[in-house]
Amino acid sequence: MRLKDRVAIITGAASGIGKAIAVAFAKEGANVVIANRNAAAGEKTAAEINQLGYGKAIHVTMDISKVEDWDKTVKKTAEVFGGIDISTNNAGVVSPNMVDTVDEISLEHFDYVINVDLKGTFLGMRAVVPYLAKNKLFYEKNLCAIFAKRWQHFTRHCLRELWKAIFSLQRQIPSAIYLKLLLRNH
């Protein structure tokens, strides 16, 4: 058991990738904190992990975009398990309107996604790093690929809008200049 008696906080661990990470860490002997907003799903996941008989699991209901929730989570983790060795910031959201074009995305939805996916990850690192720094072995994992994947749709729509503008511009300038501009940017 490579993680025997290590303590891991995993956000978004009630389902999906986060749950798989929590189960894998527990099977390696870690005590895990299931940190997410859905209390019922979090408690269920913690119970499932505890039934495995490897590491122990608890659930803490939290909104990762809130400083006070991070404070509560790290305090509870330290009280129950005595410290923190591993932090995996897995939680994230996608606004249903992120498939809209740039001019259709509301600032409310944009702020929501940024607050959870970016600010929440920052707050998590800020809250956990003092605990991790006390240990000889520590691990901080931010699942940036998930954040990047969520923004892939947004980027694609931005590029579509830009291509429309470029093709409109193409009609106004000679093709050779247009081609040179495109090649220079690639």
> What does DSSP say about strands 31-36 and 86-89: parallel, antiparallel, or unpaired?
unpaired
The dihedral through the CA atoms of 5, 10, 15, 17 has a sign that is: negative
**Is residue 170 scored above 50 in pLDDT?**
no
Q: Please tell me the least confidently modeled range out of 3-7, 65-69, 74-78, 106-110.
A: 106-110
**Phi-psi region at 82: left, alpha or beta (left = phi > 0; alpha = psi -120 to 50):** left
- Report pLDDT for 3: 85
- For 140, the domain range is 7-161
Q: Over the stretch 132-168, which tens digit does the pLDDT of each residue have?
A: 767 655 554 554 444 445 455 545 554 555 455 444 4
Q: Is 92 a domain residue?
A: yes
Higher-pLDDT residue of 5 and 176 is 5
Question: Mean pLDDT across the chain, nearest whole number?
Answer: 77
Q: What CATH number should be reported for the domain holding residue 26?
A: 3.40.50.720
Tokens of 35: 């940190």
pLDDT at 131 over 70: yes
Place of tokens 């790290």: 74
In a domain, 138, yes or no: yes
Count how many domains the chain has. Answer: 1
Both tokens assigned to 89:
């910031």
pLDDT of the residue at 172: 44
- pLDDT, tens digit (0-9, with 9 covering 90-100), for 53-92: 888 999 999 999 999 999 999 999 999 999 998 888 888 8
**Strand-strand pairing, 57-61 and 31-36:** parallel
Lay out the sheet containing 57-61: strands in order across: 57-61, 31-36, 7-11, 86-89, 139-142
Looking at residue 125, its pLDDT comes to 83
**Is residue 23 one of the residues assigned to a domain?**
yes
> For residue 180, is it within any domain?
no
Please state the pTM of the whole predicted model.
0.73
Query: In this structure, is residue 184 part of a structural domain?
Result: no
